Amino acid sequence: MDKSTALVTGANKGIGKEIARQLAAAGHTVYLGSRDPRRGRAAVEEIGGDTRLLQLDVTDAASVAAAVERVAALDILVNNAGVSGGPRPPQEEDLDTFRRVFETNVFGVVAVTNAFLPLLRRSAHPRIVNISSGTGSLGSSTSPQYPKSGAYASYRTSKTALNALTVFYAQSLAADDILVNALAPGLRRTDLNPGARAADGDPAEAATGALRLAMLPDDGPSGEFHSWDGTPVPW
Ligand code: NDP
């Protein structure tokens, strides 16, 4: 694919920063989304290339509207910004936690996607990549070999909702030739996952999966859920 312009939300650290780094290293223009300009600027300077800071809090309508005004063209949107909830099953989780997690992981994706759609519709090869989680897979959760536990209910249900959005965006944007897919990055050592052991994966490895979905050919899949290595994940 030719040189593209991408936006990665929540890209000042973790998996998002690695996605931004790999897109920039491949010669693409990257808008590095960060709700905190100071943290975002540090990441932009570290990555180099044609990387541009875009201040963007996905839960703030004014921030989303201001960010759209600063972007002239967009080919690739990576909805990466995310927060975790508590370890509790649904009956023990408080509603405020559900609301906080859904605000970023679900409503934030809808706000950003809808705001940037007019730019994506003008792209020759538009792609949307939603950074989901295998823990949101109902197919995996209900399979016989999966441990039966409703733990981390707020986070996991938010990713299940993101998966549903991926399918519905893919179906409703097919006429616009926008390919929309979800990625399960796998367990990674990041601030979101402080319990990850040293043996757990490097965020840079997960980013390669996001790049594959961002660079799909025009006849590539849409409405699919892939692991970082390209293996299909059940919804
Ligand atoms: P990090 O906590 O390292 O990074 C999360 C990023 O999202 C940060 O840049 C953070 O910004 C940003 N963010 C949070 N809230 C907002 C907001 N309202 N607006 C804009 N940016 C925001 O986590 P990861 O890199 O691990 O997570 C990235 C994605 O990968 C998430 O969607 C997560 O659910 C998913 N994922 C991660 C896994 C893992 O094992 N790490 C496994 C499966 C999925 P700030 O620095 O300001 O807080």
Asked whether residue 234 is domain-assigned, the answer is no
- Closest ligand 1 atom to residue 11 Cα is 9
Which residues lie below 8 Å from residue 175, measured CB to CB, with a gap of 6+?
Answer: none
Residue 135: count other Cβ atoms within 10 Å of its Cβ. Answer: 16
Cα 17 vs. chain centroid, distance in angstroms? 11
Is this complex scored with an ipTM above 0.95? yes
Does residue 233 line the site of ligand 1, with CB under 6 A? no
Q: Which residues face 131 on adjacent strands?
A: 183
Which residue segment(s) compose the domain that 198 sits in?
5-227
Asked whether residue 22 is domain-assigned, the answer is yes
Lowest mean pLDDT among 2-16, 99-113, 143-157: 143-157
Closest residue CA from atom 4 of ligand 1? 14
Closest residue CA from atom 2 of ligand 1? 192
Residue 204: count other Cβ atoms within 10 Å of its Cβ. Answer: 14
Statement: residue 180 has pLDDT above 70 = yes
Residue 218's pLDDT is what?
Answer: 97
Q: Which of 9, 13, 47, 109 to mutate to test the pocket of ligand 1 (most atoms within 8 A of CB)?
A: 13
- The span from the CA of 211 to the CA of 207, in Å, is 6
Residue 198's pLDDT is what?
Answer: 66
Asked whether residue 58 is domain-assigned, the answer is yes
Asked whether residue 235 is domain-assigned, the answer is no
Count of alpha carbons within 13 angstroms of residue 90, beta-carbon side: 4
CA of 131 to the centre of ligand 1 (A): 9
Does residue 15 line the site of ligand 1, with CB under 6 A? yes
Statement: residue 49 has pLDDT above 80 = yes
Q: How many domains does the chain have?
A: 1
CATH classification of the domain holding 117: 3.40.50.720
Which candidate, 108, 48, 39, places its Cα nearest to that of 80? 108
Asked whether residue 37 is domain-assigned, the answer is yes
Cα 105 vs. chain centroid, distance in angstroms? 9
Does residue 41 line the site of ligand 1, with CB under 6 A? no
For residue 127, what is the DSSP state? Answer: E
The answer to whether 159 is a known catalytic residue is yes
Does residue 154 line the site of ligand 1, with CB under 6 A? no
Statement: residue 143 has pLDDT above 90 = no
Cα 4 vs. chain centroid, distance in angstroms? 18
Asked whether residue 48 is domain-assigned, the answer is yes
Does residue 191 line the site of ligand 1, with CB under 6 A? yes
**The pTM of the whole model exceeds 0.95:** yes
Task: Taking residues 199-221, report their average pLDDT.
Answer: 94
Which residues lie below 8 Å from residue 95, measured CB to CB, with a gap of 6+?
Answer: none
